[in-house]
């Protein structure tokens, strides 16, 4: 399990690189944390470390954003905060994305917990102060 404590946002870049290197064979990551914990900000740093130059933003209303990497593979970024039932995830075709072999970063995964694959990495972000966070990742 990866466990890192950061004291400022500038530390996130290194943690983003560590996350990908700790779990090189995993592509689906579920991000848990309170509103404002920094899920989107952390995903922005991870996408940057994967080489995307796309503008990484929360897909709050679109539910999913796609970003391209230099080798033209896709990164899928989900935000399920606004869904009301699992049927909306089915309508989105979530399986096509989660089983595509591409990186998938999911915010608010608790909204679709029964649909998540077994072999995902759960990333928990705990607020410890204004900019301080504890980030834990693994099959927790």
| Burial group, residue 69, by CB count within 10 angstroms (0-12, 13-18, 19+) | middle
| pLDDT value of residue 140 | 67
Strands 2-6 and 103-107: what pairing? unpaired
Which of 103, 102, 109, 101 lies closest to 125 in space, CA to CA? Answer: 109
Architecture of the domain defined by 2-138: 3-Layer(aba) Sandwich (3.40)
Per the CB < 8 A criterion, the answer to whether 19 and 50 are in contact is no
Residue pLDDT, tens place only, 59-95: 988 899 999 999 999 999 999 999 999 999 999 999 9
Low-confidence ranges of the chain (pLDDT < 50): none
Contacts of 138 (CB under 8 A, 6+ apart): 1, 2, 121, 122
pTM: 0.95
| pLDDT score recorded for residue 127 | 94
- At residue 128, the pLDDT reads 87
Q: Which pLDDT value is given to residue 100?
A: 95
């Amino acid at each position: 399990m990866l466990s890192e404590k950061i004291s400022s946002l500038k530390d996130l870049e290194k943690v983003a690189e560590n996350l990908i290197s700790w779990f090189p064979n995993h592509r689906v990551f579920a991000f848990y944390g309170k509103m404002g914990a920094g899920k989107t900000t952390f995903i922005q740093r991870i996408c940057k470390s994967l080489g995307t130059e796309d503008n990484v933003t929360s897909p709050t209303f679109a539910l999913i954003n796609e970003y391209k990497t230099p080798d033209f593979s896709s990164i899928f970024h989900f935000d399920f905060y606004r869904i009301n039932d699992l049927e909306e995830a089915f309508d989105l075709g979530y399986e096509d994305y989660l089983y595509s072999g591409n990186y998938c970063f999911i915010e608010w995964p608790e909204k679709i917990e029964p649909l998540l694959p077994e072999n995902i990495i759960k990333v928990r972000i705990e607020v410890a102060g204004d900019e301080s966070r504890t980030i834990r990742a693994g099959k927790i």
